[in-house]
């Protein structure tokens, strides 16, 4: 299926590894020009090489999306070097602090919300004028099933639930500008160097029980499986999908192995 994304300009935060990298590659495979940002230079450089090898224009920028000036600089560079912004993927996420309420502090909660929810707010606010100038755009927030299937680290799940609400609220607000906003909620995704790979190496028996108990297909998801859904959502093939939360979890049960 031709998604009609050729020559669109996409910005993917956290695009150097895992789900973000796979989304960037999927969009490049559809002919998008792609900008990626992340905090670590070495994996960012490797991801950029992969994107350029696919034959599309691509740039990479070291940036911390918790910083307003840094996200503004990334967007400015995207506009200057690639011509604008049509697609934004708010992919950066993570959790700060302990797994329980008593093991986490107010600062842990604030940092977790900053990394997840507020980064999406900042990036969306910065790209919006450029999308309006180009007649519209598409935004996807990468949330998690932790946002609606409770598990440990309440600060993470709460931030992800807020991202899902944000997508719906912004879809209503930005529809007049022809900007669609949706969220995807991946389940547990296995990729090289990721947390689930480390967990399997350190706790093979617990990992096996988790796959058997919570994964109807008997395996975790792949980053590419999330990326394919995202590529569809930002395309005109999904022009009537707005304000949605799309689970990409293989009907997974609980989001945690313990």
Among 109, 113, 156, 191, which one carries the catalytic annotation? 156
Nearest 5°: the CA angle 160, 246, 150 is: 40
Q: State both tokens at 107.
A: 């600062």
Q: Which residues contact 191 (CB under 8 A, 6 or more apart)?
A: 17, 18, 19, 22, 197, 222, 223
Closest alpha carbon to 243 in 163, 186, 189:
163
Distance in angstroms (rounded) separating the CA atoms of residues 119 and 85: 17
The distance of Cα 126 from the centroid of its chain, to the nearest Å, equals 17
Distance in angstroms (rounded) separating the CA atoms of residues 58 and 48: 7
Distance in angstroms (rounded) separating the CA atoms of residues 251 and 258: 18
Q: For residue 62, give the 3-state DSSP assignment.
A: strand
Question: How far is the CA of 38 from the CAs of 53, 61, 63, 167, 187, in angstroms?
Answer: 19, 7, 5, 22, 22
Contact 40, 20 (CB under 8 A): no
159-175 in b/e burial notation, b at 16+ Cβ within 10 A? bbbbbbebbbebbeebe
Is 156 among the catalytic positions?
yes
**Which region holds residue 94: left if phi is over 0, alpha if psi is between -120 and 50, else beta?**
left
| Residues labelled as active-site residues | 156
């Amino acid at each position: 299926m031709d998604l009609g994304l050729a020559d669109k300009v996409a910005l993917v935060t956290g695009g150097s590894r895992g789900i973000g990298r796979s989304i960037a590659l999927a969009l490049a495979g559809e002919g998008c020009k792609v900008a990626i940002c992340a905090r670590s230079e070495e994996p960012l450089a490797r991801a950029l090489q992969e994107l350029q090898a696919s034959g599309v224009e691509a740039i990479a920028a070291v940036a911390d999306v918790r910083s307003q000036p840094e996200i503004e600089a990334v967007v400015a560079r995207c506009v200057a070097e690639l011509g604008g912004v049509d697609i934004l993927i708010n992919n950066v996420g993570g959790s700060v602090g302990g797994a329980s309420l008593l093991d986490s502090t107010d600062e842990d909660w604030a940092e977790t919300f900053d990394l997840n929810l507020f980064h999406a707010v900042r990036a969306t606010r910065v790209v919006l004028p450029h999308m309006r100038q180009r007649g519209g755009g598409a935004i996807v927030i990468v949330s998690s099933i932790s946002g609606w299937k409770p598990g440990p680290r309440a600060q993470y799940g709460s931030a992800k639930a807020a991202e899902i609400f944000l997508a719906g609220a912004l879809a209503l607000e930005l529809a007049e500008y022809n900007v669609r906003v949706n969220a995807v909620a991946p389940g547990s995704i296995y990729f090289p160097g990721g947390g689930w790979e480390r967990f399997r190496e350190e706790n093979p028996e617990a990992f096996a029980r988790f796959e058997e108990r919570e994964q109807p297909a008997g395996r975790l998801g792949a980053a590419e499986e999330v990326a394919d859904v995202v590529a569809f959502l930002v395309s005109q093939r999904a022009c009537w999908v707005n304000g949605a939360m799309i689970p990409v979890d293989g009907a997974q049960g609980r989001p945690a192995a313990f």
